[in-house]
Structure formats: C-alpha cells, structure tokens
Amino acid sequence: AQKITQTQPGMFVQEKEAVTLDCTYDTSDPSYGLFWYKQPSSGEMIFLIYQGSYDQQNATEGRYSLNFQKARKSANLVISASQLGDSAMYFCAMRGRYSSASKIIFGSGTRLSIRP
C-alpha cells in the first residue's frame, strides 16, 4: 500500500525567507514518482515539481526544489525567497507504476502563510 505523510498542518514564514515543507512516503513499488502541488483558495491544483524515483539529481523548477532522500523516503519541497503569493495549501503526492496501477495519492497538505 502507498502512503504519503505531511506532518505540518500549517506554517508561517516571513516574506523572502526560504521554507521547507516536509513529506515522507511509503510504497512497495520499485519505481514511483513524487509530485508537489499548490492549491490556492480558488481550488485549482497547480503542478510545481516532479521527482522520479530513479532520477539521479534532485528536481528543481525556478524557486522550487525537491530535496529527495530515497533511503529516508522523504521528498521535501524547498521554496526559496518566499513571496506573498506563495500563501496556499501545498500537497505532496505519489504515483506508483506497478502494484498501485498508477494511482496518485495525496498527503494531508500543509497550509503555508507568508507574512509581509
């Protein structure tokens, strides 16, 4: 069975500071993918970053980077130089490739609030 755990229900960060959102996972699939999504109050799910389990390097997309530690089964999202517009819910998600039939499951989310 797959499981995604986000232990931070809410975080407050000062504008321009870096922030790390935690995500740990569990899966029996040998190959899997990890995602981070941002969900503002409007409800849309905005794709941020993807990390494949066999990727040698940590994924980066602009101000977003994924700190992937496979042995520890963690995939933390790092946002550098946070902005007021970063305030939103953030979800970590995982997709397996075999036993899970490519289903994508989500963690419980972290509500990030950026202080001016």
Partner 1 sequence: GAVVSQHPSRVICKSGTSVKIECRSLDFQATTMFWYRQFPKQSLMLMATSNEGSKATYEQGVEKDKFLINHASLTLSTLTVTSAHPEDSSFYICSARDLLGNTIYFGEGSWLTVV
**What are the residues binding partner 1 (CB under 8 A)?**
33, 35, 37, 42-45, 47, 50, 52, 91, 93, 95, 97, 101-109
Which residue, 38 or 82, has its beta carbon nearer to partner 1? Answer: 38
In the complex, minimum distance from the CB of residue 77 to partner 1, in angstroms, rounded to a whole number: 16
In the complex, minimum distance from the CB of residue 109 to partner 1, in angstroms, rounded to a whole number: 5
Q: Taken in order 114, 61, 39, 54, is the CA torsion positive or negative? A: negative
In the complex, minimum distance from the CB of residue 85 to partner 1, in angstroms, rounded to a whole number: 18
CB atoms within 10 A of CB 61: 12
Which residue, 86 or 109, has its beta carbon nearer to partner 1? Answer: 109
Which residue, 17 or 92, has its beta carbon nearer to partner 1? Answer: 92
Give the span between the Cα atoms of 48 and 37, in whole angstroms. Answer: 5
The closest of 105, 83, 110, 112 to 4, measured between CA atoms, is 105
Give the span between the Cα atoms of 81 and 6, in whole angstroms. Answer: 22
Which residue, 14 or 24, has its beta carbon nearer to partner 1? Answer: 24
What phi, psi does 94 have (nearest 5°)? -140, 145
In the complex, minimum distance from the CB of residue 69 to partner 1, in angstroms, rounded to a whole number: 20
